[in-house]
Amino acid sequence: MKNNRTLYIIIAVLCVWVLVLSVAVIRKGRAVLPNEISEYNVSGFSTDLSKVYDQNKSSVVTVEHGSELSSGFIYAKRDDKVYIVTTYHGVSGGNDISVHFNNGYRIRASLKDYDVFADVALLECEFEYEVKPVSLGDSSLVSTGEFVLGIGVREKLDYDFSSQFGMVSSRYREVENNISFRGSYYSYYEGLIQLSGEFSKGYSGCPVFNMNGEAIGMITMEDGSIVFALPVNEIRIIADRMMEEEDYTKLQLGTGGRYIADLEKYETVSLNINVETIDGYYVESVRPGSLASTLGINRGDIITSINGTEIKNSDAMLKICYSEMNEIEAEIIRNGEKITLRGSISSD
């Protein structure tokens, strides 16, 4: 009899435990009602995109040049001067430029400076009201597969700013660009962030934000459903020098390639690269007549350092390319052998 009583107690406890567990599971898995908002976090970043939009919409502007519209963003304000970053191809010519702020104000702007190769223009206008410059991130920390949000203007002025959700499909992609400027033809490589998403016409100059609300690039070109954004780390270098009215020239090596840190394991194995002992920039192509060709850099070489700076990522290369120098010394690895190449840099 005593044994039966103990058994009954155990069964009752088990029933209560199952009931409590079932209720907890049902509550956790219940459907979210239409008037409820659920927010989740992935790797520390909120997936509630409205926060990213609300945080940055007042920092985005519409740039009107003649009958053309493009996007831009507030980079800085000094006294009553507001500085806007946008694409150069959207304002080339430099006359009849207006900036439309999110609060409805329309202000005439002037083209302070531009970089035709990076496709960056810096606009200047007088605006006595408070404005909010964008929060700049670090484009070297961008990851392939990362979600991004573009905020810009579409094809018509009567549209409010719109947003487009996308994804980083390649954190670093060297794109061959060909332009004609002032009667000369130029062909060069530009390191860009590749994005996937249906970004509409007018998104040129559109700032692209990560899920932490930081700008990581600006859209400068497109190819169907794929668009490319200039990394914000390069924009920062260009815009700061334009604001300080500093002359600069970006060194063009004339190489196309990728950084070893971005190569997949099967690629490093097939190329016989020991990632534990070798780091740098893998050269996939060399433009004839370029500085790299003159130095003697070949396809398949690994550039490990330039003028004493280790070339482990795009930021290191930017530091070199935007620095002033007359001589260049490149350390490379060719067929497992370390080689030093030296040369002079012309003013062309």
Apex 314 CA angle, 312 and 316, nearest 5: 60
pTM: 0.82
> Digits of tens for pLDDT over the chain (348 positions)?
545 566 566 666 566 555 655 555 445 444 444 444 455 555 555 556 888 888 888 899 999 988 788 899 999 999 889 999 999 998 987 788 999 988 788 899 999 999 999 999 999 999 878 889 999 999 999 999 999 999 887 665 555 567 788 899 999 999 888 888 777 888 888 999 999 877 655 578 999 999 999 999 999 988 766 889 999 999 999 999 999 999 888 988 999 999 998 888 999 999 888 888 889 999 999 999 899 999 999 999 999 999 999 999 999 999 999 998 889 999 999 998 999 999 998 765
CATH class given for the domain over 59-126: mainly beta
Superfamily for the 255-344 domain: PDZ domain (2.30.42.10)
Distance in angstroms (rounded) separating the CA atoms of residues 11 and 6: 9
pLDDT at 54: 86
| Residue matched to tokens 């004339």 | 254
CATH topology of domain 139-243: Thrombin, subunit H (2.40.10)
pLDDT at 337: 93
Do 139-243 and 255-344 show the same overall fold? no
Distance in angstroms (rounded) separating the CA atoms of residues 61 and 134: 11
- Domain definitions of the chain by residue range: 59-126, 139-243, 255-344
| Contact predicate 292/340, CB 8 Å | no
Distance in angstroms (rounded) separating the CA atoms of residues 245 and 261: 35
